[in-house]
Amino acid sequence: MNFHELGLGARLVSRLEALGLTAPTPVQAKAIPHALQGRDILGIAQTGTGKTAAFGIPLVVALSKGQEKAAPKSARGLILAPTRELANQIVQSLQGLTADLRITLVVGGKSINAQVQRLAHGTDILVATPGRLIDLMDRRAINLGKTGFLVLDEADQMLDIGFIHALRRIAPMLGKDRQTMMFSATMPKEMADLSRDYLTDPVRVEVSPPGKVADKVSHSVHFVASEQKQGLLIELLNGHRDDRALVFSRTKHGAERLIKQLDRAGFAAMSIHGNKSQGQRDRAIAAFKTGSVRVLVATDVAARGIDIPDVGHVYNYDLPNVPETYVHRIGRTARAGRDGRAIAFCAADEVAELKAIEKVLGTSVEIAGGRLWERAQVAPHAQKTRRPRRRAVGRSQRLAA
């Protein structure tokens, strides 16, 4: 199948070809025809499989019809994303699809006054993080009453971050007669409940089982003491100094400590996390993309926002507390058909997290080094699978997104 067969116009097909897109991915082939018919979509697909174009193409087609213009302080279409990085990546992808529609980005970490001024003229597509959108709504800078299209990208992470209350405030403000599309790589129960609240008779598009790792990712685990993680990471990174590697730390302070150790070991490395300004985060990702920085240390703020095809290795330096996050982290490698490796480190007090991850995956993670910690070695509080309660976040936390 090619994009012509999906019923797209020659001009859009030409733009896709200029982007190197000649044939739709499975999720695009399944979702786009239904979306073009105006159906609500619930899409479940691995990261790196083309979900952005799956909702971006039909959105551009629908908004390009006729001569309708956005009214002042309004948006014809709204895309919500959980992180600044992902929102920025969506804008870049949409700009490759059309030069005729006005696309506006509003996220935390940027001047809200400048965003208010841009929205004063109205926009065709508004890409936003929920926290900043709520702030703009409170300032009466945006009216969503005429918004006919809503996209929730990586909706499950929005729930993890605690944006459910923001979503409940935003959705009722949109036009009642709207098309809604929801996409994610995993399908926890909370997201299934959310889909019933926001989607009307949706078409479910599923190209892989929820929680399935991309086929071209080989992933494994090293059982290693916490105090030995730094040495093991440096040893493994030395084996592929020319490759880009993304390293996930659970905490911001842990990321900074790790950066100092990598710098001493001679690695060109930078970090991104919630304590970094948006400018610092943008510069770090830009340096990682160009290759001037080969190692990027990140907290989960980056798990959904980095779309760099040649990330060869992902390291789970700390295992995530939420098991579905593991799928999103390692989805930063093996993108656009490439191969990739994901390596996890598991300390004695992280066995519960590993077991929870394996339950989501439906399989055991291959052991690359060490041996499974003996039960007696596991701290008592770690013998039970721990999963934090989803909770609302305060205004200061929302602004970090």
Q: Per-residue pLDDT tens for 217-272?
A: 788 999 999 999 999 999 999 999 989 999 999 999 999 999 999 999 999 999 99
The CATH classification of domain 4-206, taken from the options 3.90.950.20, 3.30.70.270, 3.40.50.620, 3.40.50.300: 3.40.50.300
Residue 401 has pLDDT above 60, yes or no: no
Residue 393 has pLDDT above 70, yes or no: no
Which stretch, 19-23, 339-343, 354-358, has highest mean pLDDT? 354-358
Residue that the structure tokens 């529609």 belong to: 101
- Locate CATH 3.40.50.300 in the chain: 4-206, 217-382
pLDDT at position 217, please? 78
Residue 55 has pLDDT above 90, yes or no: yes
Residue 1 has pLDDT above 80, yes or no: no
Neighbour order of strands in the sheet with 103-106? 103-106, 123-128, 75-80, 149-153, 179-184, 41-44, 203-206
The two structure tokens encoding residue 306 = 């980095």
Cα dist from 251 to 103, 171, 240, 242, 311, whole Å: 33, 32, 25, 26, 22
d(C-alpha 11, C-alpha 13), whole Å? 5
Least confident interval from 130-144, 253-267, 321-335? 321-335
Number of Cα atoms under 13 Å in the Cβ half of residue 21: 23
Q: How many CB atoms lie within 10 A of CB 277?
A: 10
Mean pLDDT over 338-360 rounds to: 91
Contact 319, 350 (CB under 8 A): yes
Residue 381 has pLDDT above 70, yes or no: no
Residue 301 has pLDDT above 90, yes or no: no
d(C-alpha 354, C-alpha 240), whole Å? 25
- Please report which confidence band the pLDDT of residue 214 belongs to, taking 50, 70 and 90 as the band edges: low
Q: What are phi and psi of 77, to 5 degrees?
A: -135, 145
Domain 217-382 fold: Rossmann fold (3.40.50)
Mean pLDDT over 210-216 rounds to: 59
Q: Is 21 left (phi over 0), alpha (psi -120 to 50) or beta?
A: beta
- Please report which confidence band the pLDDT of residue 383 belongs to, taking 50, 70 and 90 as the band edges: very low
Q: Three-state SS across the chain?
A: CCCHHHCCCHHHHHHHHHCCCCCCCHHHHHHHHHHHCCCCEEEECCCCCCHHHHHHHHHHHHHHCCCCCCCCCEEEEEEECCCHHHHHHHHHHHHHHCCCCCEEEECCCCCHHHHHHHHCCCEEEEEECHHHHHHHHHCCCCECCCCCEEEEECHHHHHHHCCHHHHHHHHHHCCCCCEEEEEECCCCHHHHHHHHHHCCCCEEEECCCCCCCCCCEEEEEEECCHHHHHHHHHHHHHCCCCCEEEEECCCHHHHHHHHHHHHHCCCCEEEECCCCCHHHHHHHHHHHHHCCCCEEEECHHHCCCCCCCCEEEEEECCCCCCCHHHHHHHCCCCCCCCCEEEEEEECHHHHHHHHHHHHHHCCCCEEEECCCCCHHHCCHHHCCCCCCCCCCCCHHHHHCC
The two structure tokens encoding residue 279 = 């400018």
Residue that the structure tokens 């701290």 belong to: 379
First to last CA, the chain: 38
CA–chain centroid gap for 378, Å, is 32
The two structure tokens encoding residue 377 = 């070695």
